[in-house]
Homo-oligomer: A and B are copies of this chain.
């Protein structure tokens, strides 16, 4: 299987998952004359819709950043990609869970932890995928220096650590936890913007495809 085909399938999954987030929003049954208030009361659904939308958007950008540096796909990589997609496809569920329970006392912590846990497992899958690609002998694009590629691993690890922290924050305050996820998403967006054309979401130090490995560099 070619990288292009795997990317096209994954893109399809990303596009469907990001669009299904709209089902998070349900038209309220408002008492006559109170529609505006009913909509305002649904703010957790709108807020979590927005946050999850940009989270999936950034995962999509990140996915391309990684696979643009990979030249060949073998079975374990295919499997690791499916594991990543399991968590991406799941995202609408914890999004709705968090929206429903974000104001529900002790249950809000459970819901926020489920949301953060999904993101944590997604980031673990991402790290596993990139680690496997980096330590394989023949998957990376030959223009990528494996040592430079490996130097990006700590950034992936810090992404995993950040999402682990959000699990802890979930047990403090669910609203703060959601806000933190928004900040993380914006950080990755704007961090990327400042460095313009470098990769996203913990992969900023990944070598660019045009960083051709200089022969005799070792």
Contacts and interface: CB of A to CB of B under 8 A. Distances in A.
A9 B19 contact: no
Contacts of A60: 9
Given A16-B19, A105-B32, A61 B1 contact: yes
Nearest to A49: B90
A172 interface: no
Contact of A27 (B53, B85, B100): B100
Contact of A193 (B23, B32, B54, B76): B76
Nearest to A93: B25
Interface residues of A, number: 64
B22 A89 contact: yes
Nearest to A198: B75
Nearest to A9: B11
B86 A53 contact: yes
Given A27-B97, A27-B100, A75-B196, A22 B92 contact: yes
Interface of A: 1, 5, 7-9, 11-23, 25, 27, 30, 32-36, 39, 49-50, 53-54, 57, 60-61, 64, 74-76, 78-79, 82, 85-86, 89-90, 92-93, 96-97, 100-101, 104-107, 110-111, 114, 189, 192-193, 196-197, 200
